[in-house]
Structure 1
Amino acid sequence: MAYEPSYAERLRYKRLQDAGYQAGLEAVTNLQAALALAGMVLPSLANDGPVGARGFVRLGGCSVEVANRLAEVIAAGAHALQEQGM
């Protein structure tokens, strides 16, 4: 006989799924805003829905130019954070 979750368990899981989905939306919005500051866009950046009740963001593909520029921006930000910590 298969396990059947209770109503309370199903409701708790749905709340976790909803929270994961919302977290994914917020992460996409935050990343889009940060990329815009650098003059960049990842066209296929999207909320990929919750996976295991956790938010999941699909970054998708981009051109070599965008990938290299993104690497430069991330490296520059990382160096700036390291310098602040010294």
Structure 2
Amino acid sequence: MPYDTSYAERIQYKQLQDAAYQAGLDAVTNLEAALALAGLSLPSLANDGPLGSRGFVRLGGCSVDLANQLAEVIAAGAHVLQEHRT
């Protein structure tokens, strides 16, 4: 016998999905802004919708040059964070 979800369960599921989608949009916006501060942009960065009631961000592909620049920025930021922790 199949389980029929109640109206309340469907509403709760939709709320979870909406929140996950919004979290993905927010994460994309935050990452775009951080990349822009470094003069970088990931061309395929996008909200990929909820995945299992969690936000999911597609980072996409980029050139080797951009990947190396991004690695430099991340490494520099990581070094600054490590210095502040000590």
- State, as a whole percentage, how many aligned pairs show the same letter: 77
> What is the one-letter code of the residue matched to 1:44?
S
The alpha carbon displacement at 1:28 in A equals 0.2
The alpha carbon displacement at 1:5 in A equals 1.0
* 1:16 matches 2:16: yes
RMSD: 0.5
Give the whole-Å Cα distance in 1 for the aligned partners of 2:73 and 2:82.
14
Which 5+ residue runs of structure 1 have no aligned equivalent? none
Deviations 1:40-72 (A, max 9, x none): 010100000011111000000000000011111
Give the whole-Å Cα distance in 2 for the aligned partners of 1:64 and 1:75.
16
TM-score w.r.t. length of structure 2: 0.98
Counterpart secondary structure, 2:77: helix
Q: Post-superposition, which runs of at least 4 consecutive aligned residues in structure 1 deviate over 3 A?
A: none
Give the whole-Å Cα distance in 1 for the aligned partners of 2:4 and 2:56.
27
> What is the one-letter code of the residue matched to 2:35?
L
1:51 aligns to what? 51
Give the whole-Å Cα distance in 2 for the aligned partners of 1:84 and 1:3.
53
Which 5+ residue runs of structure 2 have no aligned equivalent? none
Give the whole-Å Cα distance in 2 for the aligned partners of 1:69 and 1:3.
51
Aligned residue pairs total 86
TM-score w.r.t. length of structure 1: 0.98
